[in-house]
Amino acid sequence: MKQRAESAASEDFIVAKVRGMRSKLFEGNRLVALADSKSLPELFRRVRSGDTFEGHLAFERDLLADQVRDVDKISRHLSGRVFRLVQWLLVHFELENLKVVLRAYVSKKTLAETEPVMAPVPAWLALPISRLFDAPDLRRFAAQVPVEEFREAMLQAIKADKTPDSAAIETALDAAYCRKLLQLADGTDEWIRKLVAFDVDFRSLSFILRSKFNYDRPLSEIKPSVVTSGLYLTPELIERLYAAHDLPQAINTLPRDFLSQEKRRGILSLQQLDKALLVQQYRLAARCFLESVVAIPAVVAYCYIRRIEFANLVRVTESVRHSLPRADVESRLLLVR
């Protein structure tokens, strides 16, 4: 990572700062009220008053840029392991951009076609896009990747299979991201470890269940790419998940502190499961934020709450764009009751 902390501040200052930032987010009733918007321009004015509406895609890019900028700004007041952890949470946006560029490179799309769909990031998270597109082969593409963990993951995937598809490389990249995230969380506050463990296990569960039920891939094929925290998902639990005959049976093997018995009722699709787990992640982060009165875990919780806010604003945007009734808009939102 190339960014450096500007100056470490006291925990009281940081927590006061992040609480002020959260007070401006669209959550609860303030979020639900947006469902009344009759048009995208009206929604835009309510969320970004004073700016010029340039279409829903530009709006969503602006929302993402706001999220990245705010987390980047607060991270610079941190120090030590927590600083590196929050910076790595930001590196996730660099990873997503790398995957976009990789797909474009493999499918022979142009740089001009690719740049508009990349996440807006600060300079320290920017990829050397021109050099990546100019690489004569995948190995030399990988050599241009600035983040060591991602560069090594790509090179290892290419070494294992001289002609890997982009999906296999993306899986290796995701695993590298999760391993580093767990490593950075190790030794930190219990709340931080819980939030990171849930994040990693949620990602891994989605990969596992889609591999099994959508693509019928054998467990032996995906096992090397599965990263678990050991707090919620374990290697033994993965075996039981893969032995399940259907999705409800697989869901019923999950620990209750990962997804309660009440919240798993009626889940019949992977999309419904994703939503339930996003709400659970929100609930966990909100509880952490509430209980971390003068502690740094509130910053990490804010990072996850900010992600949920972005997901909700995108859901509102797409719902208003398609003129859905208020009740339908509200039903799509990730809300903690």
Examine residue 21 and state whether it is found in any structural domain, yes or no: no
| Cβ atoms of residues 254 and 164 within 8 Å | no
What are the pLDDT digits (tens) for 51-100?
899 999 999 999 999 999 999 999 999 989 999 999 999 999 999 999 99
Examine residue 311 and state whether it is found in any structural domain, yes or no: no
Half-sphere exposure of 273 (CA within 13 A, CB side): 19
For the entire predicted model, the pTM comes to: 0.94
CATH number of the domain residue 123 falls in: 1.20.1690.10
Q: What's residue 295's pLDDT?
A: 75
- Total domain count, the chain: 1
Q: What's residue 208's pLDDT?
A: 97
Q: What's residue 337's pLDDT?
A: 79
Q: What is the rounded distance in angstroms from the CA atom of residue 262 to the CA atom of residue 125?
A: 40
Examine residue 279 and state whether it is found in any structural domain, yes or no: no
Ramachandran quadrant class, 135 (left: phi over 0; alpha: psi -120 to 50; beta: rest): beta
Q: What's residue 44's pLDDT?
A: 96
User: Domain limits at 183?
Assistant: 81-187
In our burial notation (b when 16+ CB lie closer than 10 A, e otherwise), range 153-184 reads: bbbebbeeeeebeeeebbbbbbbbbbebbbeb
| Cβ atoms of residues 72 and 86 within 8 Å | no
Q: What's residue 70's pLDDT?
A: 95
Examine residue 254 and state whether it is found in any structural domain, yes or no: no
Q: What's residue 163's pLDDT?
A: 77
Examine residue 148 and state whether it is found in any structural domain, yes or no: yes
| Cβ atoms of residues 315 and 32 within 8 Å | no
Identify the segments of the chain with pLDDT beneath 70. 1-8, 294
- Which H helix or E strand runs over 15? helix 11-22
CA-to-CA separations, 86 to 1, 184, 286, 299, 303, in angstroms, rounded: 11, 9, 17, 8, 8
